[in-house]
Chains A and B, each alone.
Chain A
């Protein structure tokens, strides 16, 4: 056998590998979670706030860790339950507090291929590029500038990474209902390790600031691009956790903001958006 010269054999082997990748044991807790509802909240971060998120639900039907490299009892927790009487599920893409970037969103979305999930709201933290986007503000990313580490793997650079309009509208409605300042617009998915604070990006950040780009939401581009290629409807909501206009305060031991500093309303807005979507399309649920 030579994969290099035998296209048919290559096709067979590749399909087999892909199927292995997305296979989910139908008897597993993972299967029960991804088949629970067409509406999922995807946390583009690790599971520091898992307990608080679980408490927002009326009741839980399943709670588990199932990311590829986690083991029972480790972070990256996921759950299914009723939120305001609506069946919803939650998945974390981050495994450790340091986990961030396109790779984790890629891994998370691919685990959902065989489930019931159709509508996905991604929530995470953002670095603000506009002075009026204050720490703790909410940001709805309608589209994302593709400069992350999965950039060239999926599609030609001229393909835009765009949120689903219906999901974005539901997120905006839910975010504004929290009473916290909410901004809606274009974000930057910058894959640089130091994000927008990399000194090499000073000019780029200035240029995007001038264009009104709201901030850096690292995982948005991959979530939108891969999501649409796989067939999900994806929107995202971000919590401004730092800003070029304010001194950075690193969080310890977790880099995330506290629950009371914004995650509570970020998550609630995401869940409320999904509940709104479910109410608008009861046949899907």
Chain B
């Protein structure tokens, strides 16, 4: 129904999928790549894609603004294309004060607070990231010495307001008690739809705001830490995909 012809068939197996209202893909991904081509209005917020070469591998970047509905649509568009590996990059709200603005979160599992994927996958199936890709991301990120957290998150609070909505105070408190690291809106859809469509997917999120401190602009070094976290996850995402491409070429 969607895709399957034209540009979609030119996609490489290695894709970076960005959920962000910011311009980080342009800032942190494209300058690292060679022979870059852009499509669909990139870098307009909310949509666009690019391709380029990185360490000999052709990498594609798809950038969507926010929300589970749009995420599901984008992934559906990748059905039947050559895409096999997806690294999701985005920014999230952290719950626990141990997870600071500018830290990095690798979501292992997402609590399914949205209903978008229920139409495809029964609610008792956990939204789980690809363990090998998560390991690879962690291995790339740890040597930096940056704060990296790996664990379960919640997905589904509406974008824009999300965990700061006064209506959600009790829900967020319960999440905090159960050890959820924060709200990463699109992870559950990315993981579940990837399972359904045959992609291997993992995500890395830069914390842009939290309950303890608020938005990045409200802390003295929030913006700088968040920017650096984006540099790190962008680099890690590219390197993980390039490593896999190398291994596949040499196998």
Residues of A within 8 A of B (CB): 1-4, 7, 10-11, 13-18, 20-21, 68-69, 95-107, 110, 146-154, 190-194, 197-201, 204, 218, 222, 226, 229-230
**Among A21, A104, A151, A230, contact of B67 (Cβ-Cβ < 8 Å):** A104
Known interface pairs A103-B67, A153-B171, A201-B119; A110-B114 also in contact (CB < 8 Å): no
The residue in chain B whose Cβ has the minimal distance to the Cβ of A17 is: B164
Please name 14 further chain A to chain B contacts, defined as beta carbons within 8 Å, in addition to the given A14-B164, A95-B45, A148-B69, sorted by A numbering: A14-B166, A16-B214, A17-B211, A18-B169, A97-B46, A99-B46, A102-B69, A102-B158, A107-B159, A146-B115, A149-B69, A192-B69, A194-B73, A194-B76
Q: Is the CB of A191 within 8 A of B65?
A: no
Task: Name A's interface SS.
Answer: helix
Q: Which of B143-175 contact A (CB under 8 A)?
A: 156-161, 163-169, 171-173
A106 to B96, CA, bound (A): 24
Q: Is the CB of B46 within 8 A of A95?
A: yes
Q: Is the CB of B160 within 8 A of A104?
A: yes
Q: How many contacting A-B pairs (Cβ < 8 A)?
A: 172
User: B78-89 toward A: CB 8 Å interface, digit per residue (1/0)?
Assistant: 000000000000
Q: Is the CB of B115 within 8 A of A148?
A: yes
Contacts of B176 on A, CB cut-off 8 Å? 3-4, 10
Minimal beta-carbon separation of A138 from chain B (angstroms): 23
A106 to B167, CA, bound (A): 12
Q: Is the CB of A204 within 8 A of B119?
A: yes
Contacts of A105 on B, CB cut-off 8 Å? 158
**Among B70, B71, B156, contact of A153 (Cβ-Cβ < 8 Å):** B156
Minimal beta-carbon separation of A225 from chain B (angstroms): 10
Contacts of A200 on B, CB cut-off 8 Å? 119-120
Contacts of B157 on A, CB cut-off 8 Å? 150, 153
Among B97, B119, B120, B160, max chain A CB count under 10 A is at B160
Q: Is the CB of A194 within 8 A of B1?
A: yes
Q: Is the CB of A103 within 8 A of B72?
A: no
Q: Is the CB of A3 within 8 A of B212?
A: yes
**Among B65, B119, B214, contact of A96 (Cβ-Cβ < 8 Å):** B65
| In the assembled complex, B25 has its CB within 8 A of some CB on chain A | no
Contacts of B158 on A, CB cut-off 8 Å? 102-103, 105-107, 149-150, 153, 222
Q: Which of B89-118 contact A (CB under 8 A)?
A: 95-98, 112-116, 118
Q: Is the CB of B114 within 8 A of A98?
A: no
Known interface pairs A3-B212, A193-B74; A153-B116 also in contact (CB < 8 Å): no
